Amino acid sequence: MLQVRKADERGYADFGWLKSRHTFSFGQYYDPQQLGFSDLLVINDDRVAADAGFGTHPHRDMEIFSYVLKGALEHKDSMGTGSVIRPGDVQMMSAGSGITHSEFNHSDRELVHFLQIWIQPDRRGVPPRYQQRNFTPDEKRGHLRLIISPAGENGALSVYQDVKVYAGLFDGDETDTLTLTPGRRAYVHVARGNVVLNGIPLSAGDGVRVTDEERLQLEQGTDAEVLVFDLRSANQD
């Protein structure tokens, strides 16, 4: 079963310097029907104005990754990590026993557009860690490239949870199919463009809860960038 949630059905927050769409309940946006899906708790679609950002703030026992779509995001944390994340980069932060960090638009002229995603970890109190890697367009072109997994195989970043995350770029006749293990769930988020999932047309910002499906087929893309989460069947509905 595929349950589509259109982009304009998401929560919305406008703080002037930040405009954000919330796939799941977050901050001042609360919907009892949107409290995450399996271990996927947050997908925030954030646009941060030039020379603005999130000041230093704490996290604990959460797997948090950022996926930049446009512009550049500057990161600093209490582990001493400092980096600038650009399109193609994936940043994974395991908050573990506790960490503080800040995120700012690296530019004083252009906005930065990125996805901030939270995954519930399978353990608590681990030492914080930071990972970052660039996945080139060629790695994702017409193909669902594994970018995050428990074991971090094939160059993927590691996560403390039984979840795999794939990213793909689809245009024209490019197509790929992901086979799901029986009993697993999945969540599909269209980051930009348009694409067809198992015969269902989707647009930027649309999300799909997937249950009891054997495969996911992506095709007929128009400048599409897609994230697919392969999730446990248990935990939140």
Domains in the chain: ranges and CATH: 2-231 (2.60.120.10)
Q: What DSSP state is assigned to residue 153?
A: G
Mean pLDDT, the chain, whole residue set? 93
Whole-angstrom distance, CA of residue 64 vs CA of residue 91: 8
Backbone angles phi, psi at 47, to 5 degrees: -125, 115
Residue 234 is predicted with a pLDDT of: 64
Q: What pTM value is reported for the model?
A: 0.95
Residue 55 is predicted with a pLDDT of: 77
Whole-angstrom distance, CA of residue 46 vs CA of residue 44: 6
Residue 14 is predicted with a pLDDT of: 95
Whole-angstrom distance, CA of residue 190 vs CA of residue 112: 18
**CA distances to 111, 148, 168, 212, 230 from 179, in Å:** 37, 17, 15, 12, 10
Residue 87 is predicted with a pLDDT of: 95
| Nearest CA among 138, 194, 207, 135 for reference residue 166 | 135
Whole-angstrom distance, CA of residue 80 vs CA of residue 39: 28
User: What is the DSSP annotation of 23-76?
Assistant: SS-BTTB--TT-S-BBTEEEEEEEEE-TT-EEEEEEE-S-EEEEEEEES-EEEE
